[in-house]
Structures are given as structure tokens and as C-alpha cells.
């Protein structure tokens, strides 16, 4: 079993700020790329999807974390 967080809840907060924040706009772009990757994985088995997600989505999530962490200091 794997823990799966829902990006929709994260996205909602940034969407509310997007008109006035370039940072929020950039975060939304990154989240959109995660959604796009997930669309590509729909036909894969659960195990294949998890492996593909680790390879394709993990770098985007790690970069997003670093991006936001740098702005929070």
C-alpha cells in the first residue's frame, strides 16, 4: 500500500493566488505537468504506474519542493 496525496487540494490554494502571484502561477504549471503525466499512465497496471510515477513525477515533485522551500526562508 502507498500513501497518495491529492494534488487537487494543493492546487486549489495556488489557484486562488494565481492572479496576483507569479510563484502561484509557476506552481500551477508544475502541477499541470503532473496531471499530464498521470493521464499517460492510465492504461498501465498499478505496479507499472507506481514505477513510472517514481521515474517521471518524482523529479518534478522534488524540484517543486526545492522551489517552494527556497521561497519560504
% of the chain at pLDDT higher than 90 = 64
User: Does residue 7 contact residue 34 with C-beta atoms inside 8 Å?
Assistant: yes
As given in the structure block, the three cell numbers for residue 4 are 497518495
Average pLDDT of every residue of the chain: 89
As given in the structure block, the three cell numbers for residue 37 are 503525466
Q: What would the pLDDT profile of 13-44 be if each residue is shown by its tens digit?
A: 999 999 999 999 999 999 999 999 989 888 99
Residue appearing with cell numbers 499517460 = 40
The pTM of this model reads 0.82
Instruction: Count the residues in the chain.
Output: 73
User: What is the residue extent of each domain of the chain?
Assistant: 9-71
Amino acid at each position: 500500500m502507498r500513501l497518495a496525496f491529492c494534488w487537487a487540494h494543493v492546487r486549489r490554494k495556488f489557484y486562488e493566488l494565481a492572479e496576483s502571484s507569479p510563484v502561484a502561477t509557476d506552481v500551477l504549471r508544475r502541477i499541470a505537468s503532473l496531471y499530464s503525466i498521470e493521464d499517460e499512465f492510465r492504461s498501465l497496471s498499478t505496479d507499472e504506474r507506481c514505477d513510472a510515477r517514481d521515474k517521471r513525477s518524482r523529479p518534478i515533485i522534488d524540484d517543486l519542493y526545492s522551489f517552494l522551500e527556497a521561497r519560504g526562508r
